Amino acid sequence: MDYYIQLKKANCKNCYKCIRHCPVKSIRFADHQAHIVKEKCILCGQCYVVCPQNAKQIKNDVEKVKEIIAMGKPVFVSLAPSFIANFKGLDIYGLESILMKLGFAGASETALGATIVKKEYEMMLKENEGKPIISSCCHSVNTLIQKYYPEALPYLAKILSPMQAHCMTLKEEHPDCHTVFIGPCISKKEEADQYPGLVDYVLTFQELYEWLDEEGISISDYKSTGNNLNDSITDDNSNKDNNLEIENPRGRARLFPMPGGIIRSMITEGSDYDFISIDGTDNCIQALKDIIDGKLTNCFIEMSACSGSCVGGPAMYNEHYNSYCRERRTLVSDYIAVNRYARNLDFNISSLPKDKLRKHFPYLGSSNPMPGSSAIAEILHKMGKSTPEQELNCGSCGYNTCREKAIAVFQGKADLTMCLPFLKEKAENFSDNIIYNMTSGVIVLNEDLEVQQINRAAKQILNIKHKSYILGAPVVRILNPSSFMEVITTGKNIHDRLTYWVEYNKYIEETIIYDRTYHIIICIFRDITDEEMARIKKEEISLQTMEITDKVIEKQMRVVQEIASLLGETAAETKIALTHLKETLKNE
């Protein structure tokens, strides 16, 4: 697989849902298929989440992880703190037991690395002299800034992510080990590759579930040996016999995966900074614009690309997925699970040298050719939008306005056929033209037998000058409705039936179809009066000819009989005469 999210071509049905939900419009449509433009993508995973046809797939490294485990080297897991919302009822100890069953050497919480990171954020509050600070834990937000809002790069905290900081500590504690991060995020796969040496592989919660199913391991068979998640969390030691985690009230960084969790984990007392939590890419984009415009100063901004923060990540997996796509409802219970599992104090973990914690964020943007006004106008004209009033800006194609769509067409990211109103109008005009110019009459009725559409041929046959006379009116105004009632009542369509319309003195060949899906009755009829009159006249001529023929035959038969009779008498007389002559000669 070339990229972290790929398209299954056979599944894509051109519904444009992915482009509608892509916050940066990094999806290109060509040859009636969606293609992710990796240079523009921020790997937020929304296209993967909302696709109703399961047409997107994530790069899967499970087999590679299996290989390094099989090599015999120790492989340790960094488990994202959102696991507590994904694997309800299991704490780190229960999940570590499961992971060791798969062959991992051990597992610990990414929240340990988050503790290191949040302490660096606290130091920045003291050193940054009022400049805005943007958290850099979310790789999708970092990429958004690097590709689209480079003016905000000076405000992005140049600190490793919790995943990277934790894996660095794991490698220092276990030299020559491999590290695997498991979490709800797709973009972490790219982050691991962009900064090699810290995180060897990244798996998602979904991939872990699939692996467990493959091995026949059920998480319901494992019980947490630590915190009883169904009980309230307290800070005293009175329940330590039933709740082992209470013995160590540390783990405040476990709040990281929920909105505002980073800020809640930080010590902010005494700081003159304002603290803002923003989740959802669209909200982050607006905040970045405000920062660039100077509207946000002296503030620490926690940003997460996912709505609901990491708890709402694209690769979370549980019973809250629906059957059409991977959209997941972030429930209050998810936040409660994270909140209860967190503690009031920080993990007791040593920080890392500042030079090791520093992270470089280069500019990754790429330029796109921009069309001029005449080019946009030409594209809009091809889309059937010659006036501003025709620019519906409905967003069905995935772009907010028709002009944005025209720019995308110019840049090769979209095509004209993506405009659903345009296609609908084109199809309607096409069908209307066909129906209107048919030589057969067409009348369309609703189930109340009211005329909805009538074409030119029908008007001529029925002697109707203006269709306004009959549109919306009961069909009984112009026709006997018995045939239509017959089709509705019996459920059997009529095909090519000859009928005589007394009120019009016309012979008609009619087909009546009842479409139950659209609740309409379609009547297609042809005036065959001339053909029918010619047929009747021909039949009359044929009958007359047959009568004359019969008379001629009868007369001829009489003549024949008379001739036969005469011939019969003459032959008898001759026979008698000859017999008499024979006898005379014989006597002589």
pLDDT digits 0-9 by tens, 98-126: 999 999 999 999 999 999 999 999 999 98
Mind listing the pLDDT tens digit for each residue in 62-85?
A: 999 999 999 998 999 999 999 999
Kindly give, in sequence order, each residue whose CB lies less than 8 Å from that of residue 499, ignoring residues fewer than 6 positions away: 483, 507, 508, 509, 510
Task: Say whether 109 sits in a helix, a strand or coil.
Answer: strand
Q: Identify the pLDDT of residue 559.
A: 80
Q: How confident is the model at residue 237 (pLDDT cuts 50, 70, 90)?
A: very low
Average pLDDT on 316-323 reads: 55
pLDDT at 423 over 50: yes
pLDDT at 316 over 80: yes
What's the CA gap between 191 and 561, in Å, rounded? 117
Dig out the tokens for 311 from the structure: 């708890």
Nearest-CA neighbor of 28 among 515, 397, 509, 300?
Answer: 397
What's the CA gap between 299 and 452, in Å, rounded? 62
Mind listing the pLDDT tens digit for each residue in 269-314?
A: 989 999 999 999 999 999 999 999 999 989 999 999 999 999 999 9
Q: Identify the pLDDT of residue 394.
A: 76
Q: Identify the pLDDT of residue 546.
A: 82
Q: What DSSP designation does 378 have?
A: H
Kindly give, in sequence order, each residue whose CB lies less than 8 Å from that of residue 159, ignoring residues fewer than 6 positions away: 117, 120, 121, 124, 136, 357, 358, 359
Q: Identify the pLDDT of residue 235.
A: 36
What's the CA gap between 534 and 452, in Å, rounded? 34
Strands 5-7 and 75-79: unpaired
Average pLDDT on 189-214 reads: 95
Per the listing, tokens 């503690």 go with 343
Mind listing the pLDDT tens digit for each residue in 118-175?
A: 999 999 998 877 899 999 999 999 999 999 999 999 999 999 999 999 999 999 999 9
- Number of C-beta neighbours around residue 175 at 10 A: 7
Whole-number Cα distances in Å, 186 to 284, 329, 365, 588: 18, 18, 20, 143
Q: What's the topology of domain 439-527?
A: Beta-Lactamase (3.30.450)
Q: Identify the pLDDT of residue 236.
A: 35
Is 92 within 8 Å of 76 (Cβ atoms)? no
Average pLDDT on 319-328 reads: 48
Q: Identify the pLDDT of residue 51.
A: 86
- Number of C-beta neighbours around residue 435 at 10 A: 19
- Number of C-beta neighbours around residue 237 at 10 A: 11
pLDDT at 456 over 60: yes
Average pLDDT, the chain: 85
CB-count burial class (<10 Å; 0-12, 13-18, 19+) for 563? exposed
pLDDT at 424 over 80: no
Nearest-CA neighbor of 425 among 455, 386, 459?
Answer: 386
pLDDT at 468 over 80: yes
Spell out the alpha helix ranges (H) of 157-296.
162-173, 187-194, 205-215, 261-265, 281-292
Q: Identify the pLDDT of residue 56.
A: 84
Nearest-CA neighbor of 408 among 35, 15, 89, 113?
Answer: 35
What's the CA gap between 110 and 120, in Å, rounded? 16
Q: Which CATH class is domain 1-59?
A: alpha beta
Which of 97-101, 228-232, 436-440 bottoms out in mean pLDDT, i.e. has the lowest?
228-232
User: Which bin fits 213, alpha (ψ -120 to 50), beta or left (φ > 0)?
Assistant: alpha
- Number of C-beta neighbours around residue 559 at 10 A: 9
What's the CA gap between 239 and 234, in Å, rounded? 9
Q: Identify the pLDDT of residue 422.
A: 66
Highest mean pLDDT among 227-231, 518-522, 565-569 belongs to 518-522
Nearest-CA neighbor of 28 among 345, 411, 553?
Answer: 411
More confident residue, 295 or 249: 295
pLDDT at 355 over 70: yes
More confident residue, 390 or 435: 435
What's the CA gap between 41 and 6, in Å, rounded? 12
State what percent of residues in the chain have pLDDT above 90.
Answer: 55
Q: Identify the pLDDT of residue 231.
A: 35
